[in-house]
Amino acid sequence: MMSISSILLMTLLTLGITKLHAQETVQVAQQQTVNSQQELIDIFFAAAKTGNQEVINEFLKYGFPVNVRNSAGYTPLIMAAYYGHQDAVTILLKYGANRCARDNKGNTALMGAMFKLEWAIVKQLRQVDCDSNANQTGQKTAAEFAKVIGQEEKFKSLFHVK
């Protein structure tokens, strides 16, 4: 017969193994959740990049965060503006996209549109002045960015800047 200490030792080992297995199961489930969330973010960014209004609307209709960021700090608005999808920009703004959000390099959606010469989108985004904090944080204003990329005159003419 087994002694009480042997039974106790086997019970403790069994409980330890069960606990380890439970922890592994939780970690796998958490990783799957993270992967699923990242897949949704990737789909949303792809929709913004390609101007897929139907997908953008569906995501936002069900409460997807309009200002979600990717690893470069881009928002869907920055992507849609840069790739020239004015209708997607309009939808994102309707759902409260932050037109003043800056990516990891300090650029806004307006700057992305300006770089790609998407002047209709630039005008749409410029309805809110995002430059008030730029100098305090050491970032470029829209006018300074226009000068850097050689679009100062076009910028000035659009916004009647001297």
In a domain, 86, yes or no: yes
Q: Please name the helix (run of DSSP H) or strand (run of DSSP E) that holds residue 46, with its range, or none.
A: helix 4-50
Q: Which domain holds residue 123?
A: 4-132
pTM of the model: 0.77
Q: Is the pLDDT of residue 1 over 60?
A: no
In a domain, 67, yes or no: yes
- Alpha-carbon distance of 92 to 99, in angstroms, equals 9
In a domain, 137, yes or no: no
Nearest to 111 by CA among 56, 137, 138, 74: 74
- Alpha-carbon distance of 74 to 56, in angstroms, equals 16
In a domain, 147, yes or no: no
In a domain, 142, yes or no: no
In a domain, 155, yes or no: no
In a domain, 110, yes or no: yes
Cβ-contact 29, 5 below 8 angstroms: no
Q: Is the pLDDT of residue 27 over 70?
A: no
- Alpha-carbon distance of 70 to 153, in angstroms, equals 33
CATH of the domain at 94: 1.25.40.20
DSSP 22-36: HHHHHHHHHHHHHHH
In a domain, 141, yes or no: no
Q: Is the pLDDT of residue 134 over 80?
A: no
- Mean pLDDT, the chain, as a whole number? 85
pLDDT band at 18 (very low <50, low <70, confident <90, very high): low
Q: What is the pLDDT of residue 97?
A: 97
Q: What are the tens digits of pLDDT across the range 138-160?
A: 788 888 889 999 999 998 888 87
Q: Is the pLDDT of residue 104 over 90?
A: yes
Q: Is the pLDDT of residue 132 over 80?
A: no
pLDDT band at 16 (very low <50, low <70, confident <90, very high): low
Number of domains in the chain: 1
Q: What are the tens digits of pLDDT across the range 42-95?
A: 999 999 999 999 999 999 999 999 999 998 899 999 999 999 999 999 999 999
